[in-house]
Amino acid sequence: MPAQAVAASGLSFTYAPRIKPALSGLSFSLPSGGATLVLGPSGSGKSTLTLCLDGLIPHLVEGDYEGQVAVAGLVVGDNPVHVLAQETGLVFQDPDAQFCTLTVEDEVAFGLENLKRRPEDIETAIDRALASVAMTGYRTRHLATLSGGEKQRVALAAVLAMGPRLLVLDEPSANLDPQATSELFSLLRELAADGRHTIVIIEHKLDELIEWIDSVLVLDSEGRLLYHGDPKEAFYGRGAALTAAGVWVPQTVELVAALRERGWDVPGSPLGVDDTVASLIAAPGLVDRLRSGASVPAQAGPGGDDGSVRPRDPGEGERLLVARDLRYSYADGPSALEALSGVSMSLARGGFLAIAGRNGAGKSTLAALVSGILEPPRGQVFLEGRDITEMSAPAVSDRVGYVFQNPEHQFVSDTVLGELAFSLSPKAGRKGARHLSPSQREQAKAALDRLGLVTLAEANPYTLSQGQKRRLSVATMLIRGQAAIVLDEPTLGQDERQTARLMGMMQGFRAEGGAVAMITHDMRLVLEQADSLLVLAEGRSAYVGSPAGFFAHPELAEGAGLAISALGRVSAELRKQVGTPAGLLTARAFLQAAG
């Protein structure tokens, strides 16, 4: 294996017909056998870099390519994609986007068959690859019957079967629930430990992988190299620069940095949970202060016996969206499985409801039913007191906005500005954004400016990065002035700054009387943003109440396939080791207790 798995020199790329480069003058090298985390704000060129490593750029994607990148000694620009595919394996965030067949064994064999490997070698490679991702016994399964986590492991197996020395993963956990994410990261940790592969991973969920990452490579908003080196130096020595760039940092780092700003002498540069706990215990006087300080959960409101905050039950007049014993099946007949079975929910004016659960628990079905995308059974869903089945589709959409998990499913225009034009005035939108009134045009541009998209007003929505697409899809709903907005994983692919912007807009919307229901796998957002939580499990309600109350009981989270946040795990260890109080689930709660 070459000493350098990747060597880039002056690498730049500009998509046709864009003017602004996606990558600009990147020079770096990655040693063989290491694991590198790639960070950067949304639109910084992270995904573009992955395409440069497997040869899709410059061989298949049109644009202006400059400089050079070599993988395992092969210059990418000088070697065809089928040769590079044997050295670089690329795993996308959506496994369905890279599947080419119908069954597990056919998918794993597909690349090998295209390389004309011998049948007996293919059989051996399938077995070995499936075993390496803990999928032995799944050979004959149809891909459509697999869970999201299982699909992602099959996608990884299909890549591993070809024997690449470089594994590149572009937000592989983006569409996975917390439990499936934890399983995937454990698998990747094992692959990193054996040293046979060089791993390059783009991720926003840092706390579960930071302990086995060897280096961090950070891109800035212009696609330039901001930092490349040791993770501790990145997050502690260069933390201010990363924060300024809008880059996510581990929750443990945020906590330590915030405590130091308050004057606490927290030693070391801890990244993982265990190291953070040790540093907090070693900080002079901190444990005593946490023991005696008030344990204040992230939300404000009346407390329960367990220290949690219970959501206030809204009055009948405040209830905007209500589901009562909601049941739904995607097929007819007595043998049809119910996607939802007896689920009830209430969304009040000014409320923020988080909806969580495993992949396949029924979250998106519930969201589609209460927003009118799917027609619910009569007498089970009510909007402002009216049975939603007695209202016209336009009447429902005028009051409830729905943001799809895949933003491309709701694009209707060939420009970013045109998307907002259509939301403000469908008639004007069909004719083009130029037919908007002056006030509407200003309103649209103000929305784009808030989400950092104003310079892309004339760009085609389909050419945006995944994070930019998601921000645009949210903007197209918010600009309509509806009473409620239902969002399906709106922060996927978002950097820290843009996530804060989106959540700021949601909080502003609810402060004006709007109601927010958000499906999310991000438990940190649940704790920090929502005032109530509905957890679904196999189409049924597993929990309804406050987020703090749910996560104060780890057995509830584990049973629902959800994950305790890094700070929740820090809190649990501190309680076990030194007897600190319950309720320290967010950085805000720690700081309030520390004084």
The string of DSSP letters for 91-122 reads: E-SSGGGT--SSBHHHHHHHHHHHTT--HHHH
Q: Place 296 in a pLDDT band, splitting at 50, 70 and 90.
A: very low
Encode 197-232 in three state secondary structure: CEEEEECCCCCCCHHHCCEEEEECCCCCEEEEECHH
Q: Is residue 448 part of a domain?
A: yes
Q: Does 233 lie in the same domain as 352?
A: no
Residue 65 belongs to domain spanning? 4-249
Q: Does 110 lie in the same domain as 22?
A: yes
Q: Does 353 lie in the same domain as 234?
A: no
Lowest mean pLDDT, pick from 102-111, 458-467, 500-509, 528-537: 458-467
User: pLDDT tens, 82-111?
Assistant: 899 889 999 988 888 889 999 999 999 999
The pLDDT of residue 231 is above 60 = yes
Whole-Å CA distances, 51 to 46, 56, 65, 311, 508:
9, 5, 12, 46, 38
Sheet arrangement for strand 319-329: 338-348, 319-329, 381-383, 386-387
What pLDDT sits at residue 331? 74
Sheet arrangement for strand 74-75: 23-31, 4-15, 63-71, 74-75
> From the CB of residue 411, how many other CB atoms can be counted at a distance below 10 Å?
21
- Would you call 171 helix, strand, or coil by DSSP? coil
Beta-strand pair 74-75/35-39: unpaired
Distance CA 28, CA 51 (A): 16
Q: Does 178 lie in the same domain as 71?
A: yes
The pLDDT of residue 334 is above 90 = no
At position 356, the amino acid (one-letter code) is A
The pLDDT of residue 300 is above 60 = no
- The C-alpha angle with vertex 202 and arms to 199 and 203, in degrees rounded to 5, equals 120
The pLDDT of residue 335 is above 60 = no
User: pLDDT tens, 349-390?
Assistant: 999 999 999 888 899 999 999 999 999 999 999 999 999 999
Average pLDDT, the chain: 87
Q: In this structure, what DSSP letter does residue 233 have?
A: I
User: pLDDT tens, 135-154?
Assistant: 888 999 999 888 777 888 89
8 Å CB contact between 11 and 23: yes
What pLDDT sits at residue 3? 72
For 334, residues 6+ apart whose C-beta sits below 8 A from its C-beta are: none
Q: Is residue 518 part of a domain?
A: yes
User: pLDDT tens, 533-562?
Assistant: 999 998 999 999 999 888 878 788 888 888
Q: Is residue 300 part of a domain?
A: no
Where does a domain end: 223, 249, 275? 249
- Would you call 143 helix, strand, or coil by DSSP? helix
The pLDDT of residue 298 is above 70 = no
- Would you call 285 helix, strand, or coil by DSSP? coil
The pLDDT of residue 307 is above 70 = no
Q: Does 213 lie in the same domain as 360?
A: no
Q: Is residue 44 part of a domain?
A: yes
Q: Is residue 561 part of a domain?
A: no
Terminal Cα-to-Cα distance of the chain (whole angstroms): 53
The enclosing domain of 518 has a CATH number of 3.40.50.300
Distance CA 181, CA 432 (A): 42
For 298, residues 6+ apart whose C-beta sits below 8 A from its C-beta are: 527, 528, 547, 548, 585, 586, 588, 589
Distance CA 212, CA 163 (A): 22
Alpha helices in 8-88 (DSSP H): 46-54, 56-59, 81-84
Q: Does 234 lie in the same domain as 322?
A: no
What pLDDT sits at residue 196? 87
Q: Does 320 lie in the same domain as 242?
A: no
Where does a domain end: 217, 249, 281? 249
Q: What is the mean pLDDT of residues 268-274?
A: 95
Q: How many domains does the chain have?
A: 2
Q: Does 504 lie in the same domain as 381?
A: yes
Whether the bond into 377 is cis, omega within 30 of 0: no
**Residue with token string 């590198």:** 36
Q: Which of 534, 548, 25 is nearest to 307 (CA)?
A: 548
User: pLDDT tens, 36-63?
Assistant: 999 998 889 999 999 999 999 999 999 9
The pLDDT of residue 431 is above 80 = no
In percent, the amount of the chain with pLDDT more than 90 equals: 53
Q: Is residue 353 part of a domain?
A: yes
Lowest mean pLDDT, pick from 193-197, 378-382, 516-520: 193-197
Whether the bond into 41 is cis, omega within 30 of 0: no
8 Å CB contact between 40 and 495: yes
Q: What is the mean pLDDT of residues 112-120?
A: 90
Q: Is residue 180 part of a domain?
A: yes
8 Å CB contact between 228 and 215: yes
For 455, residues 6+ apart whose C-beta sits below 8 A from its C-beta are: 20
- b/e 148-172 (16+ beta carbons within 10 angstroms → b): bbbbbbbbbbbbbbbbbbbbbbbbb
For 364, residues 6+ apart whose C-beta sits below 8 A from its C-beta are: 405, 488, 519
8 Å CB contact between 328 and 365: yes
Q: Does 211 lie in the same domain as 107?
A: yes
What pLDDT sits at residue 549? 87
Q: Is residue 234 part of a domain?
A: yes
Lowest mean pLDDT, pick from 192-196, 291-295, 516-520, 532-536: 291-295
